[in-house]
Structures are given as C-alpha cells and as structure tokens.
Structure 1
Amino acid sequence: MKKLVMALMPILLLVVLTGCNMSEPITADSQGIWNHYFVYPLSLLLTSVADWTGGNYGLSIILVTIMVRLVILPLLMKQQKSTLAMQKIRPEMQEIQNKYKDKKDPADQQKMQKELMELYQTHKVNPLGGCLPIMIQMPVIMAFYYAIGRTTELAEHSFLWFSLGQSDPYYILPVVAAITTFIQTRVTLTDEIQPQMKMVMNFIPVFILIAGLTLPSALALYWVIGNLFGIGQGLYLKKRMKLLKETKEVPAVTS
C-alpha cells in the first residue's frame, strides 16, 4: 500500500501542476467542499499574512509555505517512526509469508493474515501507519497550490524583480525551482525506492522547469521555498532516522 501511494505521488503532482479551473478566482462564495473547506481558508491565510506584512504578497507566500510545511512535518515524523517499526519486524513478517508461500488455499491465506495481524498487535505496529500521513498531507499541499493560483490579489502585486501574476521574464525562478527540485529528490531518495520510481522522480524537475516558464511566478516562488524547506527537512529526517536506528527500541506506532 505504501509503495503504491509513493508511486502515485509524482502522478498526483503532475495532475496538480496541469491544474483545472486555475483561472477561476477563489472567494468565500466558491461552491464545493474542496473550495470552501480547503482552498479558500488557505487563500484567506495568504491575504491575511500579506496584510500583516504591509501588503507584501511575495513575503506572504514565503511565510505561509513555511507554516504549511511545519504543520505537515509531524506527520512525516510519524510516518518515519512507522516505517522504522515495520523494518524492525520485517524478518518475522517474511518468515510468516514464506511459511504460506506455496499454500494457495483461501483458508491458509486467512491464517497468514491472522498471524501477521497478531504480529502487528504484539509489536503495536500499524501497517498503514506509513501511508496515512502521506494521504493526509497531499490534500493540504494541493489546496495550497490552488490557493496561490486562484487568489486574484496575488496577480496584482510584484516581488523582487518579477510580477507574481506573470511568468518570470528572466527565467530565474523556473531554473532555481528545477534545480532545487532535483536536489530535494536526491536528498529524499532511499534505497527502498524502486528504479522505476527513481526514473519518474528524475523527470519531475524537467516538468517543473517547463511549467515554470509559463505559469505565474507566484507558483514558481512557492516551489522554490517549498523545495528549500524540503531539502532541510530531508536532511533532518535522514539524521533522525539514523538516530532512531541506533536506539535499541523503536517507539510503538499505533495510528
């Protein structure tokens, strides 16, 4: 399940980047659960932070991007604990699976599932614990992306050398976004990721570069800041994973 979700994440990203109804402004009157409860609150947060910073929407994007990433960070830390806990019991899991490898009878398969569940309960491990944080954070990231693209106030302001509502005339942001995306993928790659998955992740920086050449600079700025945060986050999580592996016991993960 976790591998499936991880494999779908780049595809979801590509769908988000192509966007639908990105030109439709988001307001308090926008219809639908997605607009009303996800996109609009983040759009309101962007405009509120901009008001607090003296109408600087570029700075607002930077601050809110960091805020969103900090909110998501505990989910990633929980996912990491769950992943490590599953790694600890993997030999026992494989032993049970090998025991029933040549038994195709449904009753035997049910016995295998029962023994696996007992193993999870004994070690207080949730087999879906690594998937749930990913599934929770994706709607937040997607909603924030749409909030930036559909907040009309952003298009009317400039930041540094570029207009937030227009593509970067010097192509600096798209290039930096692509480079930081590439670095982030290198930082977050692990030995467990399949070669096919690595190929897909290598394609993402190219797509970011192409999309950044035409999409509003506000989105490219969001990618750059998110990537920079992601690079630091990835280095921190790798160091944390190393420390967790050095401990004799892994904290139980039950949700």
Structure 2
Amino acid sequence: MRKRIGLIIPAIFMVMVLAGCSLDKPINDKSTGFWDEYIVYPLSWLITEVSEFFNSNYGLGIVIVTLLIRLVLLPLMIKQTKSSMAMQQIQPEIKALREKYSSKDQKTQQKLQQETMQLFQKNGVNPLAGCMPLIIQMPILLGFYHAIMRTEEIANHNFLWFDLGNPDPIYLLPLIAGVTTYLQQKIMMGGSDAMSANPQMKMMLYIMPVMIVVFAVTFPAALSLYWVVGNLFMIAQTYFITLPMKKKESDVTGGAKK
C-alpha cells in the first residue's frame, strides 16, 4: 500500500508540473514529439470526433470518451485488484517470516528476503504486479487530461449550466468532483480492514478530495466534468466488481480455513 501511495503522490506532482509548463500549448495534427503526437493528439481527435457525431456536444463527448477509456482500462484494474488480494492472503505468512528473522544483521535480512521470495513463488504472487497496472494507466489518464485542456474547440462550447473552457461559476461541479472522490475512496476502504486501518490511506481519504476541489475551482469545467464522470465510474466499478470479488475471495478463504 505504501508503494501505491508513493506512485500516486508523484503522479499528482507530475500533473502540477505539466499544468505549468505545457498546458498552454494547443494540441492539433501539427503537434510534434512522442507525447503530443502519439498520446495527446489521438485522444483529442477521439473527443472531437465523438463530440461532432453528437452535434458538436463536447460535454457529452467528454463523458462518452471518459467512459470508453475507463472500460478499456477495466481489465487492468481487475488485475490490480486480484494481485492485491493475493498479497493480502499471504500477509500472515510474511508477518511470521519477519518475526522469525527479526534481527537486522545482513545475514538474517538476506535469509528473510530469500524465504519471502520463495513464498511469493510458491503462491504465484508477483509483488510488483499490483503496481504495474497503475503505472500503465498513468500515461493514458494524464494524456486524456492534456487532451481536454489543450483542445481549443472544447473551450468554445458549453454543457449543462457551465462553459467547458471556464471554471464552474457556481462551484457545483468542483464540489461534486470532491465528494465523488471521497466516496470512491471511502467505498474502497470499506472493503478492506487493512486499508481502513492504514494511517496513510486515511490521510489520503481527506487530502485527495480537497486537492481535487482546489484544482477544479481554478481549472476549466471540462476537466471537472472528466473527474466527476471518472469518479462515478470508479464508484460503480468498486461497488459492483471490486467489493464482490473481495467478498467472494474472503468467503472461499474462510471456508478453506474451516
């Protein structure tokens, strides 16, 4: 879990850095560089094509493309969940090994590492498998974020009560983005005692929604819309897929112990 937090925080920092150095450059078919040409522009093109199909409704285009991207990433998310569950199952054995080799001398620590790796191999667990899907998702989600912010046509349209190119004037969308971020994390934590007992995860439960609200108040409403739709998808995914998977695995493990 600490490794995931260690990945999330740099990702947030990356967004902040990129927001200050490249988001003012419009994206189009003349853009060059690997990042712009092969990641950001294709996503911008997809948003534009979908929006134009729905009578230039760019708000609806953002909603649909956000859902499409989340659906494409869903298998990675499921794989990440399964990997996390596998790691949780062997935590008692890992704890026992740490207690057995509690001495901090080099020889003992080497023995601990060897037996821990043997435990991973025995149970078919890859300790890095839970992080890899997250690493793969980052460029895609960050690229979509750039596509929204740098597609000039989006700023010229409105959706519901707000202009996509300006911050929400009544701050309702930023608040919804913050609330849905909190709910998404809360529902996920509710399905794991280890997560809910982790002080770092509890801290992130409150810090992330606040950060999202602060960003959403100043950024164009198109980005807030993307956050809200993505959060709602993640809430549905957690409620209908992740938590049932964990409950099923818990029932199987509990039955095996009996």
In the superposition, the TM-score normalised over structure 2's length comes to 0.87
Q: CA deviation at 1:78?
A: 0.8
1:244 aligns to 2:249 (yes or no): yes
Residue aligning to 2:183: 183
1:228 aligns to 2:229 (yes or no): no
Q: Which runs of 5+ in 2 are unaligned?
A: none
Q: CA deviation at 1:147?
A: 0.9
Structure 1, 183-192 or 214-223: larger mean CA deviation: 183-192
1:110 aligns to 2:114 (yes or no): no
Percent identical: 44
1:173–1:220: 8 Å Cα contact kept in structure 2? yes
2:23–2:149: 8 Å Cα contact kept in structure 1? yes
Q: CA deviation at 1:14?
A: 5.3
Structure 1, 164-173 or 60-69: larger mean CA deviation: 164-173
- Where 2:193 maps in the other structure, the secondary structure is coil
Q: Which runs of 5+ in 1 are unaligned?
A: 250-255
Residue aligning to 2:143: 143
- Where 1:247 maps in the other structure, the secondary structure is helix
1:47–1:60: 8 Å Cα contact kept in structure 2? yes
Q: Distance in 1 between matches of 2:209 and 2:10?
A: 13
2:186–2:205: 8 Å Cα contact kept in structure 1? no
2:103–2:109: 8 Å Cα contact kept in structure 1? no
Q: CA deviation at 1:99?
A: 2.4
Q: Distance in 2 between matches of 1:90 and 1:75?
A: 23
Residue aligning to 2:78: 77
Residue aligning to 1:119: 119
Residue aligning to 1:49: 50
In structure 2, the CA distance between the partners of 1:40 and 1:12, relative to structure 1 (3 Å rule), is: same
- Where 2:194 maps in the other structure, the secondary structure is coil
1:84–1:245: 8 Å Cα contact kept in structure 2? no
- Where 2:170 maps in the other structure, the secondary structure is coil
Q: CA deviation at 1:15?
A: 4.2
1:91 aligns to 2:96 (yes or no): no
Residue aligning to 1:132: 132
How do residues 9-88 of structure 1 correspond to structure 2 at under 5 angstroms? 9-10=8-9, 12-13=11-12, 15-16=14-15, 19-20=19-20, 21-88=22-89
* CA distances 1:158-179 after superposition (whole Å, capped 9, x unpaired): 1122211112222221222222
Equivalent residue letter for 2:45: L
How do residues 151-170 of structure 1 correspond to structure 2 at under 5 angstroms? 151-170=151-170
Specify which of 220, 223, 243 is matched with residue 219 of structure 1.
223
* Runs of 4+ that moved beyond 3 A: none
Q: Distance in 2 between matches of 1:67 and 1:242?
A: 27
Q: Across the two proteins, how many residue pairs are aligned to each other?
A: 247
Q: Distance in 2 between matches of 1:178 and 1:140?
A: 22
Q: Distance in 1 between matches of 2:176 and 2:104?
A: 54
Residue aligning to 2:207: 203
Q: Distance in 2 between matches of 1:25 and 1:74?
A: 32
Structure 1, 12-21 or 200-209: larger mean CA deviation: 12-21
What is the root-mean-square deviation in Å for CA atoms of aligned residues?
2.1
Q: Distance in 2 between matches of 1:42 and 1:219?
A: 14
RCO greater where, 1 or 2, for CA within 8 Å and sep 6 or more?
A: 1
Q: Distance in 1 between matches of 2:89 and 2:180?
A: 33
Q: Per residue, is there more helix in 1 or in 2?
A: 2
In structure 2, the CA distance between the partners of 1:60 and 1:110, relative to structure 1 (3 Å rule), is: same
2:162–2:221: 8 Å Cα contact kept in structure 1? yes
1:43–1:148: 8 Å Cα contact kept in structure 2? yes
Structure 1, 11-20 or 188-197: larger mean CA deviation: 11-20
Q: Distance in 1 between matches of 2:35 and 2:205?
A: 27
